[in-house]
Homo-oligomer: A and B are copies of this chain.
Amino acid sequence: MSTYIERLGAAAQEAAKELNGLTAEQKNECLFTAAKFLTDGRQEILAANEEDLKRAKEHGMKESMMDRLRLTEERIEDMAEGIRQVAALPDPLGEVTMDIHRPNGLWIRQVRVPIGVIGIIYEARPNVTADAFALCFKTGNAAILRGGSDAIGSNRAITAALRRALVHRGITPEAVNLVEDTSRESAQAMMRLRGGIDLLIPRGGAGLIRSVVENSTVPVIETGSGNCHVYVDKSADLAMATRIIHNAKTQRTSVCNACESLVIHRDIAEEAVPLIVRDLSAAGVEIRGDERVCGLASEAIPATEEDWGTEYLDRIISIKTVCSLEEAVDHINRYNTKHSEAIITEDAEAAAYFLRQVDAACVYVNASTRFTDGFEFGFGAEIGISTQKLHARGPMGLLALTTTKYEIVGNGQIRG
C-alpha cells in the first residue's frame, strides 16, 4: 500500500513542478476545457454513478447519504459551473505580499506560490472530486484525491474526464490523481507521506479528523467539526433570537455550521426558554436541557455532561442556562470546536466582549451560524472550513492553498 501511495506522491510531485511553470491563462483555459469534458462525459459518469448507487443500496446506505452520492445531469452541470467559477476567480499566485529594500542593497520580496502537492481525504460525495481538482489546479498544486469507497466508480469517471482535459491542453494528467484503493491503509499511507504530500486536508466526520490529527506526520488542516452555540443574552430581542435559532438549528441539520447547543441568560430564561423550546419542538427538534430548562419547558429532557460536547448533526439540541455573559463565554470556550459561535444581544458592550473572548474561527452578533461558508462570505468556492488556528481559519478559498517564498536579489552582498 505505502509503495502505491509513494508512487502517486512521486508522480504528483513531478506534476507540481510542471504546474509551477504554467501561466494563469493556461490554467484557466484548461479549467474551461475540464468543465466542457465533464458535461460531455456525463453519460459515462452517470452510468458509473448508477453502479455506485446500486452497490450502496445493497450495502444498506441511508437515504441522506445516498442523496449525497447521487449524480444527475443537473448536478454534473453544477460541477462544471463550479469549475468555470474557479477559473473566473483572480489568480493569487505571484502576488507580492511584502516588498523590502534593505540598506545594504538587498531587495527582498515575499511572493505567493503554490504549496506543491495537496492530499484530500473525503467521503462519498463525488462533487468534491471536481471542486478539489479545480481549487488545487488553479493554485498551481497537484492533487491526490481519496474519496470514499462508495463513490469510487463515479470518482474514476470524473477524474478520467478531468485528465482528458489536461492531456488535451498538453498538461500532465498527473496534476490530478485518484487513489483507487479506498482502504483504511491508503488513508494511513497518505498521512505518512512526508516529501510526497505537502498538505493534507481531511473532509469528513470527527472520527476521520481525529485519526488524521493523531497519525499524520504530513502538515494538516483540520476542517469541519462544529459544535456551534447560540448564546441568548439577557438583552436579546427574543423574536430575533427565536428566528435565528430556528434557522441555525433546522435549516440543515447535517452540516458543520448548524447550531447544536443553546446558552441562555437566567435573567430572561423564564420568558425565553418556553418560547424557543416551543418553536423548536414544533419543528421536531428534541430538547435536552439543564435543570432550569427542564423546569421551564415540559418538552425538555435532562441533558448529561456528554451533551454539552456533542455535535448531533441531527434534530437534537442542548440548552444550558447561565448567570452571566462571562459564564456563557467560559462554557462555550470549554465545549466548542472553535468553529462558529453566535450571541443574540442588543447590548454593544456584551457583543464586543463576546467577539473578543470567544475562541472560534467565526464569531457572530445577531446572525445565524449557518453563514460560515465560502460562498456566503463572497470568496467563491471553498475547500472546507478550517477549525484550526494555523495557516487558515474559517472558510478556506484559494489563498489557503498557497504559501509564500522570499525572493532575495543582491549584487554580491555578504554578511559582516
Contact = CB atoms under 8 A, between A and B. Distances in A.
Interface string A44-70: 000000000000000000000000000
B394 A406 contact: yes
A214 B213 contact: no
A351 interface: yes
Nearest to A16: B359
Interface in A67-101: 100
A198 B403 contact: no
A251 B248 CA distance: 61
Contact of A415 (B116, B247, B361): B247
Interface residues of A, number: 66
Contact of A363 (B194, B406, B415): B406
Contacts of A370: 414-415
Nearest to A409: B365
A310 interface: no
A406 B367 contact: no
A250 B321 CA distance: 66
Given A393-B404, A410-B364, A377 B100 contact: yes
B408 A363 contact: yes
10 contacts: A17-B333, A108-B377, A115-B390, A360-B405, A361-B405, A364-B409, A367-B408, A371-B413, A376-B415, A393-B406
B390 A219 contact: yes
Contacts of A389: 115-116, 198-199, 219, 403
B217 A412 contact: no
A232 to B, nearest CB: 13
B355 A407 contact: yes
Given A100-B377, A219-B388, A378-B102, A393 B405 contact: yes
Contacts of A410: 364-367
Contacts of A243: 412, 414
A240 interface: yes
A408 B360 CA distance: 12
A7 interface: no
Interface string A378-416: 100000000011110110000000011111111111110
A409 B108 contact: no
A106 B410 CA distance: 47
Contacts of A20: 356-357
Interface in A324-362: 333, 351, 355-357, 359-362
A262 to B, nearest CB: 16
Nearest to A379: B100
A368 B413 CA distance: 6
A406 B361 contact: yes
Interface in A212-264: 213-214, 217, 219, 221, 237, 240, 243-244, 246-248, 251
Contacts of A414: 243-244, 246-248, 251, 367-368, 370
Contacts of A247: 414-415
Q: Which of A219, A251, A360 has the most CB of B within 10 A?
A: A219
A199 B390 CA distance: 8
A194 to B, nearest CB: 8
Given A244-B414, A366-B411, A388-B219, A106 B404 contact: no
A366 B407 contact: no
Contacts of A359: 116
